[in-house]
Amino acid sequence: MAAAPSPSSSASLSPDPLNVVVVGGGAIGVATAYYLVTHPKAQEKNIQVTLIERSGIAAAASGKAQLLQFGKGKAGAGGFLASDWSDHTPYASLSRLSFSLHAHLASILGGDVTYGYRPMRALAVEAGEGRKAGGGKKGRAAGGKSGKDGGEREGEDEEKRNRPDEWVDGDVIGRWEEIGTPTTCAQLHPFCFLHTLFDAALATGRLRLLMGYDARGIRYDDGEVVAATDAVPPSGGWLAWLTGTPVSPAPVAAGGGEENDPAGGMRRSRSRTSSGKKPRATGVLVRASGEVPPTTSQGSLDEGAVGSGAQLSLQPDTSPADDTTCPHAPPAPSRAHSHPHVRMPTPSYHIPGSGTSRADPGEESVVPADVVVLATGAWAGEAGGWLPGAVRWPKIAYGHRSHSIILRPKDPVSPTALFVTYRNPPHSIDPEIFPRPDGNVYVCGASDDVVLPSSAALCAPDPASCELLRGVAGKLSTALDGAVEHKTQACWVPRVGDRPLIGWVGGVEGVAVGTGHTVWGILNSPATGKVLSELIVDGEVTCLDSSGFMEKGGKMWSKGW
């Protein structure tokens, strides 16, 4: 095993940094890193954050921001934000604060330009074969005037007034009502938002990115490592463990010896150290994935670190923006390349032509940590296998896939989000439609249940589901019926009971978690990151009332599972 890559050092930093390793480069991981490195005590405590990501920033659900329908409620997708749609849930305070934080972030990061932040209205629409244009919540009726009452043209005008919006003109539209206003709802481009937030965090000099590395487990203070031996073992592995198959802890000797559990594919440490204290995390085991070239975003790697030990330095990509520019940004020359965060490539940084190093796929090392934050999204079930045997960890609903397509109509349409209930017996679908500032329209839905792939790079859509979305969108709007299809995609989202997992993991020291936000990950990412940063740095949460989703002492919610 290679020596551990150490966080970058500087003569101006204190000799005892607080090293936080965040696992996962999605919405929660990036937001947590941002609020850690921008915390008021970041310099005083010498906070250093390492973000470990296998595929790329916003590579999974956070970058695709999909739909998932729960019960009879509507859920946000496509970068949709709502201040009060979670008021009936235990995490209402989280959503309320997060909505405010989004507005603040947009004001300081130029969000209207860099990631398409804007207020918008939202409508609930009933549609289906045989329906006629209906009324909104103000009680407008279908149909128009005729004959002595104004003739055919007045009837057409009345029909237009009864539409949910000018561009929502399909004859399948039934009743509709306004469920969100520009004061309570907004939107952003998820992928560009997270890259902007990541770049802002990186600019502080307190964050580095380890990309192309798989987080495989956690090392504890007794020298033992708890890790999955295979991402998805043929006999079930962590999938079997996740779904309830008994997995007996198998000890790992401090000197490097190990005993594999054939049923679970795990190397498991004892639940307590020899002194009887709870195990404390001291590092994260990483392995070069071979999926993308293993890189870091800052500093150099010492001899014996991940890779061949050569100096590795990544600099911001300052080449002129081109068709990879964030699609919401105004076209040149009005943008004039005035903001450094508008480029979309993943990663956002290039490797200079000389002095680079790459690790061989499968090569392992341990990244030192004082605190480990698990922000692995739909892969949270695997992260549960990195905890000692006695630690309780919930089953993550990981097998729910949602599809989305991106359409480009001939002319831009107004910023109105549609939450549609489309009935065509015996079939039904609940798509959601979001016009974006760049002129594209994001359509999502058509969920199904399939096994979670081992990597975000393997999240492939079902062509038939995407075609279904396109067909329904075309029936709802003639503008979308003739639109060019730019992209089809799919993602998996994490779900844990009726509230997300946020806070310290019980039974161990130095391990925190932020996951299980379902489709509200983009919305709730700023508040989740702020909450976790306060827990880690201050030892308590003061930015909101966390009693609805967190237990005493800042521990993650563990009741009911």
Token pair recorded at residue 516:
């299980």
CA distance linking residue 515 with residue 213, whole number of Å:
20
Average pLDDT rounded to a whole number, residues 116-139: 76
Q: Does residue 446 surpass a pLDDT of 50?
A: yes
Structure confidence at residue 290 (pLDDT): 67
CA distance linking residue 525 with residue 194, whole number of Å:
10
CA distance linking residue 404 with residue 447, whole number of Å:
9
Average pLDDT rounded to a whole number, residues 374-388: 82
CA distance linking residue 394 with residue 412, whole number of Å:
44
Least confident of 291-295, 386-390, 496-500, 537-541: 291-295
Q: Name the most confidently modeled range: 152-161, 241-250, 291-300, 359-368.
A: 359-368
Assigned CATH for 121-182+398-492: 3.30.9
Structure confidence at residue 478 (pLDDT): 92
Condensed to tens digits (0 to 9), the pLDDT of residues 430-445 reads 999 999 988 999 999 8
Q: Does residue 311 surpass a pLDDT of 50?
A: no
Backbone region of residue 406 per phi and psi (left: phi > 0; alpha: psi in -120 to 50; beta: other values): beta
Condensed to tens digits (0 to 9), the pLDDT of residues 31-78 reads 999 999 999 999 999 999 999 988 778 554 444 443 333 333 444 456
Q: Does residue 25 surpass a pLDDT of 50?
A: yes
The residue ranking higher by pLDDT, 184 or 462, is 184
Q: Does residue 417 surpass a pLDDT of 80?
A: yes
The residue ranking higher by pLDDT, 41 or 301, is 41
Please state whether beta strands 371-374 and 18-23 pair in parallel, antiparallel, or not at all (unpaired): parallel
Average pLDDT rounded to a whole number, residues 228-248: 33
Q: Is the Cβ–Cβ distance between 383 and 389 less than 8 Å? A: no
Q: Does residue 510 surpass a pLDDT of 50?
A: yes
Q: Name the most confidently modeled range: 218-222, 226-230, 341-345.
A: 218-222
Q: Residue 557: phi, psi to the nearest 5?
A: -65, 130
Condensed to tens digits (0 to 9), the pLDDT of residues 325-360 reads 455 443 332 322 233 333 322 333 322 222 334 556
Q: What is the mean pLDDT of the chain?
A: 72
Structure confidence at residue 546 (pLDDT): 94
pTM: 0.76
Cα 431 to Cα 156, 182, 407, 470, 473, distances in angstroms: 28, 21, 14, 10, 8
Q: Give CA torsion, residues 37, 40, 45, 46, to 10 deg.
A: 40
**Measured in Å, how far apart are the chain's first and last C-alpha atoms?**
37
The verdict on whether omega for the bond into residue 333 sits within 30 degrees of 0, i.e. cis, is yes
The residue ranking higher by pLDDT, 166 or 509, is 509
Backbone region of residue 504 per phi and psi (left: phi > 0; alpha: psi in -120 to 50; beta: other values): beta
Nearest residue to 239 via CA among 264, 221, 218: 264
CA distance linking residue 324 with residue 548, whole number of Å:
42
Structure confidence at residue 533 (pLDDT): 98
Structure confidence at residue 463 (pLDDT): 87
Structure confidence at residue 330 (pLDDT): 38
Which element (helix H / strand E) includes 52? Answer: strand 47-53
User: Which amino acid is residue 386, in one-letter code?
Assistant: W
Nearest residue to 197 via CA among 297, 139, 115, 306: 115
Q: Count CB neighbours of 221 within 10 A.
A: 16
Cα 401 to Cα 258, 443, 493, distances in angstroms: 36, 15, 7
Q: Does residue 186 surpass a pLDDT of 80?
A: yes
Which neighbouring-strand residues pair with 489? 404
User: Which amino acid is residue 141, in one-letter code?
Assistant: A
CA distance linking residue 322 with residue 337, whole number of Å:
10
Q: Does residue 362 surpass a pLDDT of 80?
A: no
Domain ranges of the chain: 121-182+398-492
Average pLDDT rounded to a whole number, residues 149-174: 68
Structure confidence at residue 402 (pLDDT): 79
The residue ranking higher by pLDDT, 388 or 20, is 20
Q: Is the Cβ–Cβ distance between 521 and 98 less than 8 Å? A: no
Residue with tokens 């300052």: 318
Q: At what angle do helices 92-109 and 521-538 cross, to 10 degrees?
A: 90
Residue with tokens 């329908």: 69
pLDDT band at residue 213 under the 50/70/90 scheme:
confident
Average pLDDT rounded to a whole number, residues 274-293: 79
In the chain, % of residues over pLDDT 90: 40
Cα 461 to Cα 79, 306, 410, 540, distances in angstroms: 19, 34, 25, 42
Q: Residue 458: phi, psi to the nearest 5?
A: -105, 10
Residues in the chain: 561
The residue ranking higher by pLDDT, 124 or 138, is 124
